[in-house]
Amino acid sequence: MQKREQGKSGGSGGGNAAPPPKRGRPFGSTAASVASASAADSVAPSTLLGPSLQIHNSFSVEQNNKRIVLALQSGLKSELTWALNTLTLLSFKEKDDMRKDACLAKIPGLLDALLQIIDDWRDIALPKELRKGQRTRTLGANSVVTGFGNEYEALGSIALLPQSGLGPGSAAEISGQKNTSKRRRSEWWLDEDGLFNLDDEGRAEKQQCAVAASNIIRNFSFMPENEIAMAQHRHCLETVFQCIEDHIVEDEELVTNAIETIVNLAPLLDLRIFSSPKPSYIKITEKRAVQAIMGMLGSQVKAWHCAAAEFLGRMIINPDNEPLLLPFVPQIYKRLVDILSLQAFDAQAAAIGALYNLVDVNMDCRLKLASERWAVDRILKVIKTPHPVPEVCRKAAMIIEHLASDPQNRTSLLAYENAFAEILFSDGRHSDTFARILFELTSKPNNKIAAARGIWGM
């Protein structure tokens, strides 16, 4: 939790690096684009979600909170657009904007109404052709009753599967013919293009509303007044983790908003909430949540794997989350060391920030990182280059100091003695740190190799 001042860059690296432009922002919500918003609305007002209106200074959330929630729940296009536009403007704060209506997540029903918009889109997001179908039973295909729990299926249920080996006069086929009409009528809603199915334009509008709702939730997470309420809201966490879990097929902006939301909430997030007695909507488990983050960490999208690295670094600070993350530590270190090899400064900063927290809280993490190939070389490269953010270089040096403090790592780190000595004499900013590192490596009498070579501690 002590790393909060570094955070809130939403997908960028750790440290004090300048954050990249925020993604997922509806057109016209920033101060720089207000002037061009009216011109764009006049060109294609029907294609822009907003904002196409400006909220008057006298607009009070306390007096209109019920109206906003009811508009989100109504499903009416005009009301939904107004509510999303209003919340987008209210939730976005410039640096010098002291907004009194910042605690938006505590409005009764507001967060659930926004999450329902995302859930509605996710219910129809995956086309029918890509859905996983039922597996045809092949064991005991020639028997009507097998004893393996498929008796109801074999005797002609609604979900009757075609079975090879059954004769034309079998009981299953006759029963299936009797139930054909009932089955078709009950499945008209999903299997056929009926009155209530959405066309491509309707699906696009649902997707656009879901992205706007996720952007509002992301904006909420940047406000300290909302963090506790959101970090303890199980439905919110389940929805964002499910979006992250399906990042391969989900809308890119929706995934980006989701990962940035949980990065902001990470210092207050306890993964045990997924096994708590609180009402569950999506049944996300602790293991699935960590696996979803690991999938993002391995992504090729820089904003995603940077945010995932920062999230893991913040999560490990909480002792309650540590047992859930430790089984994935070997995979985490391997990927973080790979990220260090990238030329992007924000990616290196994110990896260094995560490694700094990981080795600081757990001794087993120090052993695994020291044994990881190329780890020390790439950390030293960040210091020697050097990284444009001094705080990142300081943390990189502190990582090596933590590794040197463990006696089991001294033998492997002595191979870098000359490199440590070079930084000690050439870089005054890290001379104290590397003096302590060399002292730890060479002045311990119980290390025979160090005793023969040690001169820095004398």
Which fold, 4-35+47-121+209-372? Leucine-rich Repeat Variant (1.25.10)
Residues present in the chain in total: 458
Q: Which residue has the tokens 């939904």?
A: 80
Q: Supply the pLDDT for residue 60.
A: 62
Contact 389, 17 (CB under 8 A): yes
Kindly report whether the peptide bond that precedes residue 162 is cis, defined as omega within 30 degrees of 0: no
Q: The tokens 């889109």 sit on which residue?
A: 121
pLDDT given for residue 23 in this prediction: 38
According to the model, what pLDDT value does residue 144 have?
Answer: 56
- Burial pattern 351-379, b for ≥16 Cβ within 10 A else e, equals bbbbbbbbbbebeebbbbbbebeebbebb
pLDDT value, residue 214: 94
226 neighbors 106 (Cβ within 8 angstroms) = yes
Helices in 246-386 by DSSP H: which ranges? 252-265, 286-297, 302-315, 322-325, 329-340, 345-361, 363-370, 375-384
Helix, strand, coil fractions of the chain, as percent rounded to 5: 65, 0, 35
pLDDT at res. 445: 54
CA distance 189 to 102: 42
Measured CA to CA, the distance from residue 362 to residue 293 in angstroms comes to 20
| CB 340 within 8 Å of CB 372 | no
pLDDT by 10-residue block (mean), the chain, 458 residues:
42 43 37 39 42 52 81 89 87 59 72 92 66 51 54 45 43 46 43 56 87 92 88 92 90 93 92 89 89 92 92 89 87 90 90 90 78 87 90 92 86 87 86 89 60 47
d(CA 350, CA 302): 10
Taking a C-beta distance cutoff of 8 angstroms, is the pair 311, 240 a contact?
A: no
- H-helix or E-strand containing 396? helix 390-404
What distance in Å separates the CA atoms of residue 264 and residue 220, rounded to the nearest whole number?
Answer: 10
Q: Smallest Cα–Cα separation from 206: which of 273, 145, 116?
A: 116
Question: What are the tokens at 377?
Answer: 């070389």
Please report, for the chain, the start and end positions of each structural domain, with discontinuous segments joined by +.
4-35+47-121+209-372
Tell me what pLDDT residue 138 has: 57
Is the separation of the CB atoms in 429 and 392 below 8 Å? no
